[in-house]
C-alpha cells in the first residue's frame, strides 16, 4: 500500500473531478454530488465509510508493480482512498485488488475480511472482487453485475443520462426519430424531442409511457429496456473510433517484421507469438462486429424499412441480452489498443525487436484469458 501527498495529491484532486467512465469509477465525485442532494445521509456504494469515497481505476501494471503480485496480471484494479475525503490535495493511499498484501490491507485499514462470507463488511470485498473481474467500469455493465439486491448498492449510482453531450443527443435524436414515428402517429419534431428527453435523461419521464404502451411492452420491462437502449447508443458512438484504431492495428500486424532473433527468441518462436496475436485480433474484431450487428444502426434501418411495430418490439425486448457482453469486450479491445501503443511508443510498428514483440504478444493474449470468465465478456468470448 502506498501513500501519496503534495504533487501527487494535486493529481489526485484533478482525478477526483473526472466523471466516471469505462476506466474510472469515481465514487468520490458521485458521493459528493449525492450529499448535495441528500445531505450527510446520502447513500453509499460501499458500506465502509472510507471505501465509499474511493476512486477505482483500471490500471496497466508497470514493470516495478508486477512484483507486488504472486501472478501479476497485465491489467489490475487500483483503489485510491483519499486521506481526507473533503480535501483531495492531502493525497491518498493506494493498493491493488489481489496484490500480495491485499488481505492485510483490507483487514487492517478498513476492517474488511476478504476471505469467507457472513460478516457484513465482507459484502464490500465481494463488490471489489466483481469490479476486478471485469475489463470495464462503465455504469451500463456495473448495473448488470451489481444491481441485484444481494449487493444492496443504491440505484442512485446507476443513473445514466446521455443528454449532456450535445453530439450524442443529436445522434440519438437522428437515430430514433424514424423508430418513434413507427409507433406514435403524428410524432412531430417537438414530440420527438420530448420523448428523447424523457427516456434518455437520468430518469424515465411520462412521455415515454405512450411509446412503450403502444408497442405492448409490459411496464416491468421498461427500466431494463431503457438502460439497454442507452447502452446500445452509447456503445455505437464509441465503437466508431475503436473500430478504426483496431483496423489500423490489424494492418500493422499484417506487415509486421521482427529482428534480433537468437537462441531464446528464434524465428519459429516469434512466428508462433505472431500467429497467436493475429488470431486473437481477428477473433476480437469479428466478435465485436457480430455482436454490434444485433443492435446497431443497420439493424434499426431494417426495422425502419419494414415499418413493422412487431419488429420494433422484438428489437427492444432483445436489447438487454444483445447489449450485455458487447461493452465488456469492447473495453477489452480498448485495453489491448492502449497497451499496444504504450509498449511500441516511439518504435516502428512494422519492425519490432523479437524479444519485445514476444513479451508484448504474450501480455495481450493473457488479457483475453484474464477476463474469459468475466460476466461482462463471457457472451462475446464464447459466442
pLDDT digits (tens, 9 = 90+) for 180-195: 777 777 778 887 888 8
Which neighbouring-strand residues pair with 80?
Answer: 55, 94
Cα–Cα dist 26/14, whole Å = 12
Cα–Cα dist 271/276, whole Å = 9
Is the pLDDT at 217 greater than 50, yes or no?
yes
Mean pLDDT of 20-32: 93
Instruction: Specify the pairing of strand 257-259 against strand 351-353.
Output: parallel
Q: What is the pLDDT of residues 48-74, one digit of tens each?
A: 999 999 999 999 999 899 999 999 999
Cα–Cα dist 12/29, whole Å = 12
Q: Cell 428489437 appears where?
A: 315
CB 92 within 8 A of CB 9: yes
pLDDT of residue 326: 84
Domain coordinates in residue numbering, the chain:
2-158, 225-382
CB 230 within 8 A of CB 200: yes
CB 381 within 8 A of CB 288: no
CB neighbours of residue 218 within 10 Å: 10
Could you tell me the pLDDT band of residue 353, with boundaries at 50, 70 and 90? Answer: very high
Could you tell me the pLDDT band of residue 373, with boundaries at 50, 70 and 90? Answer: low
Q: Cell 493511499 appears where?
A: 93
Cα–Cα dist 42/32, whole Å = 9
Q: What's the grid cell of residue 299? A: 439493424
CB 347 within 8 A of CB 256: no
Which is more confidently placed, 118 or 16? 16
**pTM greater than the 0.75 cutoff:** yes
Cα–Cα dist 181/304, whole Å = 9
CB 85 within 8 A of CB 53: yes
Percent residues over pLDDT 70 in the chain: 93
CB neighbours of residue 132 within 10 Å: 20
Enumerate residues 6+ apart whose C-beta is below 8 A from 110: 48, 50, 51, 121, 124
**Integer angstrom CA distances of residue 325 from 25, 87, 137, 359:** 19, 37, 13, 28
Cα–Cα dist 316/122, whole Å = 37
Amino acid at each position: 500500500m502506498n501513500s501519496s501527498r503534495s504533487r501527487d495529491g494535486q493529481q489526485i484532486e484533478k482525478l477526483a473531478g473526472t466523471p466516471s467512465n469505462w476506466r474510472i469509477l469515481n465514487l468520490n465525485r458521485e458521493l459528493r454530488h449525492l450529499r448535495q442532494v441528500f445531505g450527510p445521509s446520502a447513500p453509499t456504494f460501499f458500506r465502509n465509510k472510507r471505501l465509499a469515497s474511493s476512486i477505482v481505476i483500471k490500471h496497466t501494471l508497470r514493470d516495478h508493480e508486477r512484483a507486488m503480485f504472486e501472478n501479476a496480471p497485465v491489467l489490475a484494479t487500483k483503489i485510491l482512498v483519499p486521506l481526507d475525503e473533503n480535501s483531495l490535495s492531502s493525497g491518498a493511499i493506494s493498493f491493488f485488488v489481489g496484490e500480495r498484501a491485499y488481505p492485510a490491507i483490507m483487514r487492517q485499514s478498513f476492517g474488511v475480511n476478504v476471505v469467507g462470507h457472513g460478516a457484513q463488511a465482507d459484502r464490500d470485498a465481494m463488490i471489489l472482487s466483481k469490479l476486478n473481474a471485469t475489463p470495464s467500469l462503465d455504469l451500463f455493465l456495473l448495473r448488470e453485475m451489481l444491481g441485484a439486491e444481494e449487493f444492496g448498492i443504491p440505484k442512485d449510482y446507476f443513473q445514466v443520462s446521455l443528454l449532456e453531450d450535445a453530439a450524442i443527443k443529436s445522434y440519438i435524436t437522428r437515430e430514433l426519430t424514424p423508430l418513434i414515428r413507427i409507433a406514435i402517429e403524428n410524432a412531430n419534431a417537438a414530440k420527438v424531442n420530448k420523448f428523447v428527453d424523457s427516456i434518455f435523461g437520468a430518469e424515465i419521464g411520462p412521455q415515454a409511457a405512450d411509446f412503450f404502451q403502444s408497442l405492448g411492452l409490459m411496464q416491468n420491462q421498461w427500466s431494463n429496456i431503457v438502460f439497454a437502449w442507452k447502452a446500445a447508443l452509447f456503445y455505437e458512438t464509441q465503437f466508431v473510433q475503436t473500430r478504426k484504431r483496431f483496423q489500423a492495428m490489424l494492418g500493422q500486424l499484417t506487415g509486421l517484421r521482427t529482428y534480433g532473433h537468437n537462441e531464446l527468441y528464434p524465428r519459429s518462436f516469434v512466428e508462433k507469438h505472431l500467429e497467436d496475436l493475429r488470431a486473437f485480433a481477428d477473433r476480437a474484431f469479428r466478435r465485436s462486429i457480430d455482436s454490434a450487428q444485433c443492435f446497431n444502426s443497420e439493424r434499426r434501418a431494417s426495422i425502419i424499412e419494414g415499418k413493422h411495430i412487431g419488429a420494433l418490439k422484438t428489437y427492444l425486448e432483445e436489447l438487454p441480452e444483445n447489449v450485455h457482453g458487447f461493452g465488456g469486450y469492447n473495453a477489452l479491445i480498448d485495453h489491448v489498443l492502449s497497451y499496444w501503443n504504450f509498449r511500441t511508443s516511439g518504435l516502428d510498428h512494422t519492425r519490432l525487436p523479437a524479444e519485445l514483440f514476444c513479451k508484448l504478444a504474450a501480455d495481450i493474449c493473457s488479457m483475453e484469458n484474464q477476463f474469459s470468465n468475466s460476466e461482462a465478456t463471457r457472451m462475446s468470448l464464447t459466442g
